[in-house]
Structure 1
Amino acid sequence: MSSANGRSDDGAGGAEGAPPEQLALIREAVRQAKEPKAKPRTWRGAALARELPVARVLVDKGVLHLDRYFDYAVPEELDEAARPGVRVRVRFGAGGRNVRQGRREGGGLIDGYLIERVAESDYSGPLAALAQVVSPEPVLDPELLGLARAVADRYAGSLADVLQLAVPPRHARAEARESPAPPSPPTAPDPGTWRRYGRGADLLTSLASGGAPRAVWTALPGPEWAEEIARAVRATLASGRGALVVVPAGRPAARVDAALKAQLGEGQHTVLTADAGPERRYRDWLAVRRGSVRAVVGTRAAMFAPVRNLGLVVVWDDGDDGHSDDNAPFPHVREVLELRASRDKCGFLLGGWTCTVEAAQLVESGWALPLTADREQVRAAAPLVRTVSDGDLSRDEAARAARLPTLAWQVVREGLKQGPVLVQVPRRGYVPRMACARCREPARCRHCAGPLEAQDAQALRCGWCGRDEGSWHCQECGGFRLRAQVVGARRTAEELGRAFPAVPVRTSGREQVLDTVSAAPALVVSTPGAEPVAEGGYAAALLLDGWAMLGRPDLRAGEDALRRWTGAAALVRPQGAGGTVVVVAEPALRPVQALVRWDPVGHAVRELAERAELAFPPVSRMAAVSGTPEALAGFLSAVELPRDAEVLGPVPLPSGEAGRPRRPGGPSGEPGERVLVRVPPGSGAALATALKSAQAARMARGGGESVRIRIDPPDIG
């Protein structure tokens, strides 16, 4: 309807002759002109981003009651840089207290990650603004975030703690450098020595064609393992996918690195280890995240490497302590890479010269297939293994001077005619521990019950409190004579040097770890894990003090002894080339027999059967909770455990050096206690959730002594 002056009510007068489409456009423009313009959103007078003005931030505080996202306003000047995955700084808390959604202006600046941008916040109050975008480089993508969350939930930890392990610290100079373009994929490799294994060639064929095989690989002794890993990586890269290899230490990482260079050439892979230094490590990590490099080999922290289009994950020697992180929430490489294989639907290769109980369970459950060589191949590659009991040494007066039974002395003498001889001793140093010569009861300090030690033939001294002991006698049998429980590497080197005066003696241990030795005759005394590789292999090896390894009060004592023995014996020449290994231990014991037969898989299968009968891990899931007696009792009374949970303990934890706990007790060093909580298969996630919730509630209340939670502890002895 028109008004009295002939103009229409909607202000479109004068356009009555226009087409209907044009008339509708004119009316819409007039309507928008009449509406009041919305004022720009502001925070304390500063304009906010027009689109998605709310940022969800994970603050870098590894405490469980803050394990959630906090909402912050995005200022207009940070709109472009504030992208998901970047590092930011925000104001958080005041006076050490948690502030809901960062809304108070007080509190210091804290680092965090911008998780996502949203249009509205579910918090009704005013929001604090992002203080700073540290870098526009997105370092946390959805894949890495999802993996970190899964790891945190599995180990009853916080997401921030996992990300501290997963994302290296920023280095501005490394970040400013551009990463090169990714190289072209290599061609598929020839199987090579993989043909020695029943389905080894099939494994490489599957990887090269884009498959995702899962295998537990028992490697044959010898140096070929690194090249075999490199061929598996090359097959994966040939399919256009990425690969990740995690080894327990820097020396095996260097061997895989050399094998990858030989297979792939330069520029196809990178090495991620802590030894590289912060700038290089961050630069190489960024190259992986940006997709410039698709193959990674590294130590423990590399398990989170953000490899694009992941096609294969490899773990070498999963029983090594180096694969278990000592920082909360204490993840294990094997478990994390199992999660990655399941989440990314990629291949999984768990390899080593031995087989852990956890690896045997993966095969028994059908999650992975066994990859082994037949007995003929094993006999061709393994050295001859002979046994001597510790009792033979005590009866052999002629051999006591060198601490070697006659058989071992003869093997050393013959081996030195052909090349170097390896001598493995369980401990470093001179004489780390002492015991009664009559009954072998460990010598203990009268003040703190700590172990007595003898350093460089000096007086006895306590290894815990440092007090000297000048008048010791055995509390069990009254004896006054002492003997070394385990003679260390340095003392063994001295004794062997006197027994073989014309032969050079070299040591490899914590103070100085040798990487390689020449093929010239020499005695190489090493602690477990520090054995250097000999050119052409060792002519012989002696594995001393086997009873000390097997006698440890630990569930994994036998498995760990066999792994350490096999690691040393695998460096010896094959039996056909004269390679001989002598192990000084009781021949009838199961780990000794497994070494003689070179049957680590059979040993792991039998161990798994016994664990199943006793309901011990890995058949069950277990958590260790430790703290002061009062803190532990309070925690157990508050936690709502699953109905099928079983609590074992508490038991006291031994004191440590200078009054400090060797394992976590009270934060000020009071004696601690520990309980083990066990649940059957299928209840592990419920146990982790219950422990995490109770710990979060305890930390939110504050004021009490802390407790420590460790899911699937490596040591439950």
Structure 2
Amino acid sequence: MSSDNSRGDSGAEGAPPEQLALIRESVRKAKEPRAKPRTWRGAALAKELPVARVLVDKGVLHLDRYFDYAVPEELDAEAQPGVRVRVRFGAGRHRVREGRREGGGLIDGFLVERRAESDYSGPLAALAQVVSPEPVLSEELLGLARAVADRYAGSLADVLQLAVPPRSARAEQRPSPAPLPPPPAPEAGSWARYERGAAFLEALASGGAPRAVWNALAGPEWSAELARAVAATLASGRGALVVVPDGRTASRVDAELTALLGEGRHALLTAEAGPEKRYGEWLAVRRGSVRAVVGTRAAMFAPVQDLGLVAIWDDGDDSHSEQHAPQPHARDVLLLRAAQDKCAFLLGSWSCTVEAAQLVESGWARPLVAVRDQVRAAAPLIRTVGDQDLARDEAARAARLPSLAWQVVRDGLRHGPVLVQVPRRGYVPRMACAQCRAPARCRHCAGPLQARDAGALRCGWCGREEGSWHCPECGAFRLRAQVVGARRTAEELGRAFPAVPVRTSGREQVLDTVPGAPALVVSTPGAEPVAEGGYAAALLLDGWAMLGRPDLRAGEDALRRWIAASALVRPQGDGGTVVVVAEPTLRPVQALVRWDPVGHAVRELAERAELGFPPVSRMAAVSGTAEAVAEFLAMVELPSQAEVLGPVPLPVTPVAAGRSRRAGAPPAGEQWVRALVRVPPGRGSALAAALKAAQAARMARGSGAALWVRIDPPDIG
């Protein structure tokens, strides 16, 4: 401000003396310290730092900034940085008319900073209430939330809704226990199976910050190895954070940490705990009583003090991708935390994503793997059944299971349980042409045809019954189940093996463990229970259905799901066998046979680099009506070298499922389009900033048409 005023004074040479005097007087006043802020009621203000800078809980982009409020004297002690407050917010917030403030209602917010003066020259509204004196928003957490908002073109308020759990007064009133002293450094244990495993633990225990991509060996030891990494970090006097895909996985790591370190050294943050208990655990972490955290994706923001390690298990699981705005991915948030806190980073999985391969390829992280002999010794035997084998197999044509699968099941049941992975839940979902496998679609709305519970053929969108279907591609009249669900598979196997118990694990009921006695366990991907002593065998059915999805990640995701199921099977030396029903020549199938997920990810990364696909490039999806998308793309100032792909129509969602679709999907029955915006490496931040600015300007104008912007969409097709 002073530099602007100085330029105004020098530019007034030759002006009349009285005008020059007025200019100089205005400059002098501008340089003087401002008086304390006035409030619209003239209330007594805090004697020191009477201005509170507040982030209001409004997730709209054009209000993504701080607002100044006056601190009344009676709230001075409690109104400290980081606390929750309530303020008046709305039209005319800073205007005074006839001694009363115009409009505005009470809204929640966070007090970010106390200041001596405000940038706003008019009267300030006063803080209405300090909700709680508990400082829940630290400077570190605020910085992380801002970095996440900028990366994903979102608002800071939306990120803080994900980062800070809802308040529970009873949890705040309970005192947190005193922190325990650091435990002794653990022994290497099963980490010795990896080439640099022992050195990795030693670096953590000595206060180092190693960064590694860990390709875990098949078997159940991974959870104990993850617990040892946490224990080594705690031994250095620092904190640790582990993010896993679901509550079942979190419980396994929780049990291993308790067995290794005892009670009271770590917190478990999952939705299953309930709001009050979860908030109490979160407070214990923020207060420094607990130095280690294990949890699902919301735990990625856990305020661990003196963070020494961030770790994520199975980063390819879609549960790590937040569905609420701005939809951050846990892996990327932990990468930001590793950079911000200069701490160690560990990405572990039985498989390997392209993003993990890129971290190693760039040199940012080092591989943490076992030698090939150790890999083969820990993995089961993989056998394949392709389309030609199925065509020659009478048993497969009659009952969908090839003779090899029946033989493996019979042999496996002599020694223990057998796992059967089915890509879909339910009885019989969608149908396809038996000859050319083209999806069977409704003649009226092009929706998928289904035959639920072996009944009549109906459309899954409009519900019309179809009695005379024929394939528009080849003219055939026979149908086959495109993917047979878990319930029908369980019935077929139950009839084939009547003396063997059949258990199912899926969305309705997910089993955590099963006994080691002979049984058939039919599961959907991701719901496979752990068998005591490991499964004797496993069948991976309908592999072509997962590989045939129109998605860039179809092969990577199919391999990840196959390896996750196969890792629960006993090693080949103990008779463990896996049969995968998929074309043997396909790259993901070959990677499974060789048990080489790292090699598969490296080749995928090279191909995406040639084609300019993520994660080598950065990409954003813009979805909405055709008019809204066209208007947005016309107004956004994209960075140089940005490329717009599309827009193309999105599938029309069925009315019945419209309410359950995630944010950014078309409303039920409405036609949307989607455009992809791609930029080369190094331009991702500029792309996010441009999209955020355009979306903020659009919201400020009050545009009524819905439009969604998502950075790094997981399903670009």
1:91 corresponds to 2:88: yes
1:173 corresponds to 2:170: yes
Selected match of 1:555 from 552, 556, 566: 552
TM-score, normalization by structure 1: 0.93
1:332 corresponds to 2:329: yes
| Structure 1 residue aligned with 2:685 | 685
Mapped to 1, the partners of 2:488 and 2:599 lie a distance apart of 36
Q: CA RMSD in A?
A: 1.6
1:104 CA displacement = 3.9
1:428 CA displacement = 0.4
Q: Aligned with 1:261: secondary structure?
A: helix
Structural mapping, 1:267-286, within 5 Å = 267-286=264-283
| Structure 1 residue aligned with 2:670 | 670
1:439 corresponds to 2:436: yes
Distance 1:222 1:390, change over 3 A: same
1:536 corresponds to 2:539: no
Structural mapping, 1:249-648, within 5 Å = 249-648=246-645
Q: Which amino acid aligns with 2:701?
A: R
Distance 1:39 1:617, change over 3 A: closer
1:446 CA displacement = 1.6
Mapped to 2, the partners of 1:580 and 1:100 lie a distance apart of 72
Q: Is the 8 A contact 1:659 1:669 kept in 2?
A: no
1:69 corresponds to 2:71: no
Q: Aligned with 1:46: secondary structure?
A: coil
Q: Which amino acid aligns with 1:128?
A: A
Distance 1:378 1:118, change over 3 A: same
Q: Is the 8 A contact 1:158 1:329 kept in 2?
A: yes
| Structure 1 residue aligned with 2:28 | none
1:112 corresponds to 2:132: no
Mapped to 2, the partners of 1:331 and 1:297 lie a distance apart of 19
Q: Aligned with 2:453: secondary structure?
A: coil
- Deviation string 1:13-64 (CA, Å, 9 cap, x unpaired) is xxxxxxxxxxxxxxxxxxxxxxxxx999765142111111110000000000
Q: Aligned with 2:655: secondary structure?
A: helix
1:48 corresponds to 2:45: yes
1:475 CA displacement = 1.7
Structure 1 unaligned regions, length at least 5:
1-37
Q: Which amino acid aligns with 1:410?
A: Q
Q: Is the 8 A contact 2:417 2:518 kept in 1?
A: yes
Q: Aligned with 1:474: secondary structure?
A: coil
Q: Aligned with 1:529: secondary structure?
A: coil
Mapped to 2, the partners of 1:667 and 1:502 lie a distance apart of 48
Mapped to 2, the partners of 1:147 and 1:101 lie a distance apart of 34
Q: Is the 8 A contact 2:353 2:601 kept in 1?
A: yes
1:502 CA displacement = 1.4
**Greater C-alpha radius of gyration:** 1
% of aligned pairs identical?
82
1:461 CA displacement = 1.9
Q: Is the 8 A contact 1:64 1:692 kept in 2?
A: yes
Mapped to 2, the partners of 1:88 and 1:546 lie a distance apart of 53
- Deviation string 1:673-704 (CA, Å, 9 cap, x unpaired) is 00000000000000000000000000000033
Q: Aligned with 1:318: secondary structure?
A: coil
1:89 CA displacement = 0.3
Mapped to 2, the partners of 1:649 and 1:556 lie a distance apart of 20
Q: Is the 8 A contact 1:513 1:530 kept in 2?
A: yes
Mapped to 1, the partners of 2:101 and 2:406 lie a distance apart of 76
1:464 CA displacement = 2.0
Distance 1:680 1:100, change over 3 A: farther
Q: Aligned with 2:332: secondary structure?
A: helix
Structural mapping, 1:19-58, within 5 Å = 43-58=40-55
Mapped to 2, the partners of 1:216 and 1:42 lie a distance apart of 55
Distance 1:100 1:619, change over 3 A: farther
1:470 CA displacement = 2.6
Q: Aligned with 2:132: secondary structure?
A: coil
| Structure 2 residue aligned with 1:147 | 144
Q: Which amino acid aligns with 1:716?
A: I
Q: Which moved more, 1:271-280 or 1:460-469?
A: 460-469
Q: Is the 8 A contact 2:38 2:124 kept in 1?
A: no
Structural mapping, 1:121-270, within 5 Å = 121-270=118-267
Q: Is the 8 A contact 1:157 1:328 kept in 2?
A: yes
TM-score, normalization by structure 2: 0.93
Q: Which amino acid aligns with 1:506?
A: R
Mapped to 2, the partners of 1:450 and 1:76 lie a distance apart of 64
- Deviation string 1:100-149 (CA, Å, 9 cap, x unpaired) is 69994421110000000101111111111111000000000000000000
Q: Is the 8 A contact 1:317 1:353 kept in 2?
A: yes
Mapped to 1, the partners of 2:649 and 2:142 lie a distance apart of 38
Mapped to 2, the partners of 1:315 and 1:402 lie a distance apart of 41
Q: Which moved more, 1:549-558 or 1:39-48?
A: 39-48
Q: Which moved more, 1:43-52 or 1:156-165?
A: 43-52
1:605 CA displacement = 0.3
Q: Which moved more, 1:476-485 or 1:465-474?
A: 465-474
Q: Which amino acid aligns with 2:437?
A: R
Q: Is the 8 A contact 2:93 2:102 kept in 1?
A: no
Mapped to 1, the partners of 2:272 and 2:69 lie a distance apart of 37
Q: Is the 8 A contact 2:653 2:666 kept in 1?
A: no
Q: Aligned with 2:710: secondary structure?
A: strand
Mapped to 2, the partners of 1:127 and 1:657 lie a distance apart of 50
Q: Is the 8 A contact 1:537 1:573 kept in 2?
A: yes
Q: Aligned with 1:658: secondary structure?
A: coil
| Structure 2 residue aligned with 1:23 | none
Distance 1:670 1:101, change over 3 A: farther
| Structure 1 residue aligned with 2:709 | 709
Q: Which amino acid aligns with 2:231?
A: R
Q: Which amino acid aligns with 2:334?
A: L
Mapped to 1, the partners of 2:593 and 2:483 lie a distance apart of 23
Mapped to 2, the partners of 1:427 and 1:377 lie a distance apart of 33
Q: Is the 8 A contact 2:182 2:235 kept in 1?
A: yes
Q: Is the 8 A contact 1:390 1:545 kept in 2?
A: no
Q: Is the 8 A contact 1:505 1:525 kept in 2?
A: yes
Distance 1:367 1:101, change over 3 A: farther
Count of residues in Structure 1 that have an aligned counterpart in Structure 2: 677
Q: Which amino acid aligns with 2:138?
A: D
1:469 CA displacement = 2.2
1:667 CA displacement = 5.5
1:407 CA displacement = 1.1
Q: Which moved more, 1:663-672 or 1:136-145?
A: 663-672
1:660 CA displacement = 7.0
Q: Which amino acid aligns with 1:277?
A: G
Q: Aligned with 1:514: secondary structure?
A: coil
Mapped to 1, the partners of 2:376 and 2:259 lie a distance apart of 28
1:319 CA displacement = 0.1
Distance 1:39 1:516, change over 3 A: closer
